[in-house]
Amino acid sequence: MQRLNPPRCAVVGSPIGHSLSPVIHRAAYTALGLEWDYQAIELQPPEFGPFVDGLDEPWRGLSVTMPLKEEAARCGEPSDDVRLTGAANTVILEQQGRRVYNTDIAGFGEALASAGIPAGLPALIVGNGATARSAFVALARTGSRSITLTGRRPEGVAEFWRWASWSGIDPKELAWGSAPDSDTRLIISTVPAAGAAGVVEALTENAERLVALFDAIYHPWPTTLAARVSDRGATVLSGLDLLVHQAAHQILLMTGHQVEIEVLTSAVRAELRRRADA
């Protein structure tokens, strides 16, 4: 018999209609034998604070996606990774108050490792926002010492490198629309497909030298960038790889229980097949 007021969680952001987070978290609840509720809620940045302030029992946690990660970082006691990046993707509601976490960092690192991508590769990060900061931390922690950044706004790139000065990595900047250096072996794109559309040709100029591309979105898929790199023979990871790995950490924070990655991956694959057939 289902509890009258089961614990509640949700993913918040905008746009949110395509989100696979409800599928992932509900699959985890089923595997763990938990009668919890998980929904997707459309929120814009001005709505986020009032929404979170209004949460009480039986709410346990929120998954936070764009464009709310920086607002989330300010809505509770931050973890060390949130303090470092200024971005949070997880809000945990406790009797003592709210705590906020960044599970994207672990998600990036674990997804790359699970795909067999060697650590420490010379890398290019496309974009300079919250997700790019998480990708940078993941790369720095796994041994990358050569990291280049490219972004549409030079001032945004400069701000990023001021933030990244803690790492001891010498800043490298690639002008927007220029080809990566020939020694680049990994590209992590953190921008929407439309944002990268005008620079795909440049980014793939030396694609035959790439080991992998990690395109951190999953809708629409495949992106032009992902398709082009895949055709050149490199390993391609999508936002789904990031999503399931970071979600496993969220589920542990929210419920106190670990769930196997394959449970989450299988649920995602089944949902994508269902959507394709609809």
pLDDT tens, position by position, 122-179: 999 999 999 999 999 999 999 999 999 999 999 999 999 999 999 999 889 999 999 9
* 97 and 114 part of one domain: no
DSSP-assigned letters across all residues of 192-209 = -HHHHGGGHHHHTTTGGG
Rounded distance between C-alpha atoms, residue 34 and residue 142, angstroms: 34
237 contacts 259 by C-beta, under 8 angstroms: no
Q: Report if residue 221 sits inside a domain.
A: yes
pLDDT digit string, tens, across residues 195-228: 898 999 999 998 999 999 999 988 888 999 999 9
Q: Report if residue 1 sits inside a domain.
A: no
Q: Indicate the helix (H) or strand (E) that contains 58.
A: none
Q: Report if residue 69 sits inside a domain.
A: yes
Query: What's at 252, amino acid-wise?
Result: L
* 87 and 164 part of one domain: no
Residue at token pair 């763990």: 32
* 119 and 231 part of one domain: yes
Quote the radius of gyration of the chain (alpha carbons, Å): 19
Q: Report if residue 242 sits inside a domain.
A: no
Whole-number pLDDT of residue 3: 56
Rounded distance between C-alpha atoms, residue 255 and residue 34, angstroms: 9
The two structure tokens encoding residue 52: 């979170």
pLDDT score of 10 more than 60: yes
User: The whole model's pTM is what?
Assistant: 0.94
* 163 and 206 part of one domain: yes
Rounded distance between C-alpha atoms, residue 230 and residue 245, angstroms: 22
* 149 and 202 part of one domain: yes
* 127 and 31 part of one domain: no
Q: Report if residue 14 sits inside a domain.
A: yes
Q: Report if residue 2 sits inside a domain.
A: no
Output phi, psi for 19, to 5 deg: -60, 140
> Above pLDDT 90, what percent of the chain?
90
Which of 225, 124, 231 is CA-nearest to residue 181?
124
3-state secondary structure 229-241: HHHCCCEEECHHH
Which of 88, 81, 83 is CA-nearest to residue 63?
88
Q: Report if residue 42 sits inside a domain.
A: yes
* 202 and 109 part of one domain: yes
* 35 and 23 part of one domain: yes
Number of Cβ within 10 Å of residue 61's Cβ equals: 26
CATH number at residue 169: 3.40.50.720
Rounded distance between C-alpha atoms, residue 59 and residue 111, angstroms: 29
pLDDT digit string, tens, across residues 165-179: 999 998 899 999 999
Q: Report if residue 124 sits inside a domain.
A: yes
* 46 and 155 part of one domain: no
Rounded distance between C-alpha atoms, residue 185 and residue 130, angstroms: 23
Number of domains present in the structure of the chain: 2
Rounded distance between C-alpha atoms, residue 126 and residue 124, angstroms: 6
* 194 and 123 part of one domain: yes
Output phi, psi for 213, to 5 deg: -120, 135
Q: Annotated active-site positions, please?
A: 69
* 29 and 84 part of one domain: yes
Whole domain around residue 152: which residue ranges?
105-237
CATH number at residue 252: 3.40.50.10860
For residues 231-269, b (16+ Cβ closer than 10 Å) or e, as one string?
Answer: eeebbbbbbbbbbbbbbbbbbebbbeeebebebbbebbe
* 55 and 147 part of one domain: no
Rounded distance between C-alpha atoms, residue 236 and residue 230, angstroms: 6
Residue 1 — very low, low, confident or very high, per pLDDT cuts 50/70/90?
A: very low
